Structure 1
Amino acid sequence: MTLFNDLINKKEKISVVGLGYVGMPIAVAFARKVDVIGFDLNKMKIGLYKSGIDPTNEVGNEGIKQTTVDFTSDETKLQEAKFHIVAVPTPINADKTPDLSPVEGASAIIGRNLTKGSIVVYESTVYPGVTEDICIPILEKESGLKCGVDFKVGYSPERINPGDKVHRLENIIKIVSGMDDESLEEISKVYELVIEAGVHKASSIKVAEAAKVVENSQRDINIAFMNELAMVFDRMGIDTNDVIEAMNTKWNALKFYPGLVGGHCIGVDPYYFVYEAEKLGYHSQIILSGRKINDDMGAFVADAIIKNLIIANKIVKQAKVVILGITFKENCPDTRNSKVSDIIKRLNEYGIEPIVVDPQANILDAKQEYGVKLVAFDEVENADCLVFAVSHDEFKNMTIEEIDKLFKECPNEEKVIVDVKSILNKSEIKKSGYKYWSL
């Protein structure tokens, strides 16, 4: 195969299917080297990209304006490409089982427009076997072509960390795999065009699929351990972060911290792994336990809010609670699978309708996903409790004076501050007399 040479000589094109937090940066990166078609079903999103607007903030408006990516929602344009990258989301259903409909739909779209000599590489996180057992049959059915003869398939799990300007696509080692040695070499050379850190050639597609779900499951379990400690230390009256600070003085400490575990990776991928394991007759003992702990943290934080409101002599149902942050992580507009919503739901059970502020989040996404109407900072006043749920820079840089302006006029010991991410100066806050709690 000479597809790599045809790409760099611009005789052929790359397509990226799915232009979200993962696909769009990949498309822009490849466009600096080769011709790229960026496809997404969301016409509104395509319109924003064509207008030079980056709703993900991953590349930035200037990067979108300068890119040569051919953004489109017309699937027939995919017929112009020979190397297809699938970067659609892989969420979970309400019952925590994998929702493969996005990756199946993308496979059908590519299949309808697949031409001989093409390579299709999946980046979407899946459990081992999905690429070969589910995606390939769809590609063959829709295209009428034979995999291994007319086209080839590979898998290269995405490792983009939304909002992270240090660990970027280019400087994170890329796992690549192919259905055979020939496809593996082609896929490796194509990714090496943009991955400065180099690639790791996995021995099979299933190994590459497994590596992705396992690396996120490992993080999930470690955070769950810290969350369990935080719940126990809370009962003991011990500050968890003081314990972690002491523990981290040892050279082999892993430096994990308690927190809300959401987003499209760590809060989802373990369920993909567990699902396939259970199909094979093995019931997870560690991974599911970790997931349960992390899934319950929103309720734990909400209960802590209620407890501290009571201690501060507040009437719970009448308390004005302001939550700062609804995205799943700091300095990122992504609200997918945000566990802040669990805090809100739990507070609703106590009759509290919290006010939510997030200068980073997309107003429309927050409304559609969680029914939350975001409020501007300057509209917040007379708060009884401030919940620092996400460590956006805007929140981390707040002064005591700025924080105090958001509260109602009352003694500081009646003003409750819940610092989920431990971003505030604890000693300064306590010295000022506020009722302070951190995870």
Structure 2
Amino acid sequence: MTDKLLKMAETKRERVKAGVARRRAKEKRFRFYGIASISMAFAFLIVLMTTIFSEGYTAFFTTEIELQVDLSPEALGIDGDETDPKVLMGASFRKVLRQSLRDEISVDGRKQRRALYSFISNGAEYDLRDKVMADPSLIGQTITYWAQAGDNFNQYNKGNIKASTPEDGRQFKNLQIEWYDELKKEDRVRTVFNTKFFTNGDSRDPELAGIWGATVGSFYTLLVTLALSFPIGVAAAIYLEEFAPRNRATELIEININNLAAVPSIVFGLLGLAVFLNVADLPRSAPVVGGLVLTLMTLPTIIISSRAAIKAVPPSVRDAALGVGASKMQMVLHHVLPLAMPGMLTGTIIGMAQALGETAPLLMIGMVAFIVDVPSGPLDAATALPVQIYLWAENPEKGFVENTSGAIMVLLAFLALMNACAVIMRKRLERRW
């Protein structure tokens, strides 16, 4: 009998050991799967960021060519007062730039001249004109001028166009490469920081296109969004948490708010197109319309986060305020709202970051238009940074490819900054009860 009991105990012990071993093996596999999933996601993120950075960092640099430019009145075609801005506006700055190129490199025929003239950006003549208008004493001199290079010259200098590519497969031809080598040997080509990428609006020429117009458009759009969504969202959250009766109507409102947070953003764009443009007749492509659409989209996020912040305030705070004679409105405004404000602000910043990266609703209200001028107000025609990226991504030119990646880098930097602000604000302002 004793032997039988011992065998049964030994068998049970072995079963327990086997079960523990299986459980530990499952835990190890689960841990391995979790680490593998995180590692895979991190690897994809690294590949994505590396691809964007490798294609986009060159957008922050541009190429310039040194030229000896004759600014004599005869070369500029000036006949009148050389200090008169109207006279200088009509001067032939393109002509003197092209002549300086021909003085450096000899060409034969119209085709070669056209190929040579493409070395200079279309914006170089306007930069030279602005420089002369700022200092009219340059008239009559021969100056050393660093002219911005055209797109193909710029891309070849950056290495985005390879000489090893067959000539039929690239726009920068062999003869142009010979001219480039000649200028490079004479140290007349340099790479500088591309300030125009951050100060210009959109352009048909990749080397002149910038993100400033889209950045200002995004700023006005987010300004309208913040001015409307924050007070409305906070007021709605306070009403639902502190004043609304608990009935079916309130439950229906809460369900709809939660459902709106999951509605695709393009639906809000269609709503904005139907209501704000077709019915209210607001200006198309204006940041004020974009702000209204993004307000509708971000309101559920702000309301949900604000309600969670209000719920986190202990009931004892409310009871204490009411106990000393405060009205319910005073209790909410003077005690609950200040304590819940950090969480509300965190949710608002996250909602603004989401709005900053939205493209689909803005496409529906016409902010996809080609806008060169920088908007001066929320009622002017404008585009937004995500829409600008979408527009550039459709262009096959090498310059727009790097501009697209460069703009994505700037957008990601803004998003990371806004999310970092939300995290820092939550850490510094949150209270533990």
Structure with a larger share of its residues in helix = 2
Q: TM-score, normalised by structure 1?
A: 0.22
**Does 1 or 2 have the higher relative contact order (CA < 8 Å, sep 6+)?**
2
Whichever of the two has the greater Rg, that structure is 2
Q: Which has the higher strand share?
A: 1
